[in-house]
């Protein structure tokens, strides 16, 4: 866990609905290395963790957040999308000021609630002259529909309310640059019911999972799949363990397989009917859907022929990997 001596707290406290807040000493926070900052985040729940804990973040899961908070391993998402979001944060803030006439500034503080010290907030911007903050986002045109008609992705909504609680500010703006399309911003205001529910979920997760070392129930997401596979990468114990308490769940799984198979068949039937109607046309549409049945050229390596005719070359490029295959069979 993060070494708490990295944190120096100011003597300045602020009263708010969630109690008293701490602000990390500015120079200490600014002088932290990137690695130390990542470790600092492991001491509590940050705004970007909330959606996963509440089960509304399709890219993460409670199991993933649990592993992050209970291990010394530092994991960081470092891809092009993340880089773009980081690099365009200043631009997003400038566009917000242009559109609203408001002024914003960087905080350079990490906020921590004293009532619930596991709740952390590393905010993008604070609004000058208003009891408000700003969260900056960047997305691509494929996600534009998530922002139309005043909408906000639910995971981001929870992030903003989390920040309100940690900072005591009654308003939070969220701005988004939709690359190649438009700039949008929304305004959220303090809501006791929503905030109390979020705090309750975070409290339960921290107290009953993180502190007790009890992994939360998996949620069926690919994120949970990846974490479980990384935790138990190979089978070492060859003994058969007695699986108790799963009779009803395994029976339900069998029923689900049957239902999914039938639903997939019905789905395929509809697709086949459309294909017969389209004949050799590439496109079709109605008032609600646009359909494309296009030509796809695929080039594949004939590994069987390569192995047969050039076995030495084939063997040079073999790569052995070890993974686990999960199977359930009724007996």
In whole angstroms, what is the distance from residue 50 CA to residue 311 CA?
A: 53
How many Cα atoms within 13 Å fall on the side-chain side of residue 214? 9
Neighbours of 46 (CB within 10 A): 20
Instruction: Tell me if 223 sits within 8 A of 60, measured CB to CB.
Output: yes
Nearest to 179 by CA among 140, 226, 237: 140
178 - beta bridge partners? 139, 182
Each residue of 146-205: pLDDT tens digit?
Answer: 999 999 999 999 999 999 999 999 999 999 999 989 999 999 999 999 999 999 999 999
Instruction: Show the domains of the chain with their CATH numbers.
Output: 4-226 (3.90.320.10), 258-316 (no CATH)
In whole angstroms, what is the distance from residue 47 CA to residue 121 CA?
A: 6
Taking CB atoms within 8 Å and a gap of at least 24, the contacts of 265-270 are none
* pLDDT band, very low/low/confident/very high, at 30 (cuts 50, 70, 90): low
∠ CA 244-258-329 to the nearest 5 degrees?
Answer: 40
Burial 112-121 (b: 16+ CB within 10 A, else e): bbeebebbbb
What global pTM score does this model have?
0.76
Which run of H or of E encompasses 189?
Answer: strand 182-189
- pLDDT at 29 (0 to 100): 58
How far is CA 220 from its chain centroid?
14
Instruction: Tell me if 200 sits within 8 A of 116, measured CB to CB.
Output: no
Question: Does residue 12 register a pLDDT over 60?
Answer: no
Each residue of 281-331: pLDDT tens digit?
Answer: 999 999 999 999 999 999 999 999 999 999 999 999 988 888 888 887 777
- Please report which residue ranges of 215-327 form alpha helices under DSSP H: 222-231, 247-278, 303-309, 311-316
Question: Does residue 26 register a pLDDT over 60?
Answer: no
Tokens 């305004």 correspond to 187
Query: Residue 127 to residues 15, 131, 132, 169, 216: CA-CA distances in angstroms?
Result: 18, 7, 5, 10, 37
In whole angstroms, what is the distance from residue 197 CA to residue 204 CA?
A: 11
Each residue of 169-184: pLDDT tens digit?
Answer: 999 999 999 998 999 9
In whole angstroms, what is the distance from residue 69 CA to residue 42 CA?
A: 5
């Amino acid at each position: 866990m993060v070494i708490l001596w990295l944190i120096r707290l100011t003597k300045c406290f602020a009263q708010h609905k969630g109690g008293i807040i701490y602000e990390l000493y500015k120079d200490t926070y600014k002088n932290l290395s990137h690695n130390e900052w990542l470790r600092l985040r492991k001491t509590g729940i940050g705004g970007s963790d909330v959606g996963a804990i509440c089960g509304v973040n399709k890219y993460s899961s409670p199991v993933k957040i649990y592993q992050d908070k209970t291990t010394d391993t530092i994991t960081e998402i470092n891809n092009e999308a993340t880089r773009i979001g980081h690099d365009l944060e200043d631009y997003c803030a400038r566009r917000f000021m242009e559109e609203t006439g408001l002024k914003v500034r960087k905080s350079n503080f990490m906020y921590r609630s004293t009532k619930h010290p596991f709740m952390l907030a590393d905010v993008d911007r604070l609004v000058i002259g208003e009891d408000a903050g700003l969260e900056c986002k960047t997305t691509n045109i494929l996600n534009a529909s998530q922002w139309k008609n005043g909408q906000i992705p639910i995971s981001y909504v929870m992030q903003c309310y989390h920040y309100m609680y940690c900072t005591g500010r009654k308003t939070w703006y969220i701005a988004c640059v939709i690359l190649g399309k438009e700039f949008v911003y929304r305004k959220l205001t303090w809501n006791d019911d929503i905030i109390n529910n979020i705090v309750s979920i975070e409290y339960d997760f921290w107290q009953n999972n993180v502190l007790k070392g009890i992994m939360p129930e998996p949620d069926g997401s690919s994120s949970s799949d990846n974490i479980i596979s990384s935790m138990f990468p190979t089978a070492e114990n060859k003994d058969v363990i007695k699986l108790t308490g799963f009779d009803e769940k395994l029976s339900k799984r069998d029923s689900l397989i049957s239902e999914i198979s039938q639903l997939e068949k019905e789905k395929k039937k509809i697709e086949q009917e459309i294909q017969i109607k389209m004949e050799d046309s590439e496109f079709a549409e109605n008032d609600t859907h646009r359909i494309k049945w296009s030509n796809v050229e695929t080039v594949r390596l004939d590994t069987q022929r390569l192995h047969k005719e050039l076995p030495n070359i084939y063997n040079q490029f073999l790569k052995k990997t070890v993974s686990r295959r999960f199977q359930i069979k009724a007996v």
